Amino acid sequence: QAWLGLRFPEEQARDREQTEAGICTAGRSVTGVQVMRGRNEWRDLDYYNFKLRCGRDWSDQPLGLAFDGLRETRSATCPSNSAIAGLRVHRGFQDWGDMDTYEFQLFCSTPAAGGDGYGNGHGDGHGYGGTGMVSAGGGEEERD
């Protein structure tokens, strides 16, 4: 799938861009996300990193984004026998301050008949039944 086309600053910040991706293997579904927020005061840099929960197991390592100075960790998981069908990210900031806040929320969905929510069972795994929202904790980012 192509990028959404959101604009990023063209100058100076470009050299700080980094992209990583995570995927569940063996047909397992993503069932949770862990958000880690870090901050290096001396360098005035903010960091976010993420772990995925595949089926019932958390990944051993975060995605691999540059990270320093862990400040907080929050996580959210879908109820039993459901998987993540979507993710909502909210960013708030103060024009006059040096603080951005982020909030994450999962959209969980139960699998269609014949599956168990973890990539096992019959069917193509693309149909979903019931849905619900799960909050995924919040974090703050101090802007540099």
Whole-number pLDDT of residue 41: 83
Digits of tens for pLDDT over the chain (144 positions)?
566 666 656 555 555 677 888 999 988 999 999 999 888 888 877 888 999 999 999 999 999 888 888 999 999 999 999 999 998 888 877 676 666 678 889 999 987 544 544 444 333 333 333 444 454 444 433 333
C-alpha span between 78 and 111 (Å, rounded): 12
C-alpha span between 109 and 133 (Å, rounded): 9
Whole-number pLDDT of residue 107: 92
Q: Which of 142, 140, 138 is nearest to 75 (CA)?
A: 138
Contact status, residue 135 vs residue 105, Cβ threshold 8 Å: yes
Domain regions of the chain by residue span: 30-142
Whole-number pLDDT of residue 20: 85
Contact status, residue 131 vs residue 106, Cβ threshold 8 Å: no
Whole-number pLDDT of residue 32: 95
C-alpha span between 125 and 102 (Å, rounded): 31
Whole-number pLDDT of residue 102: 80
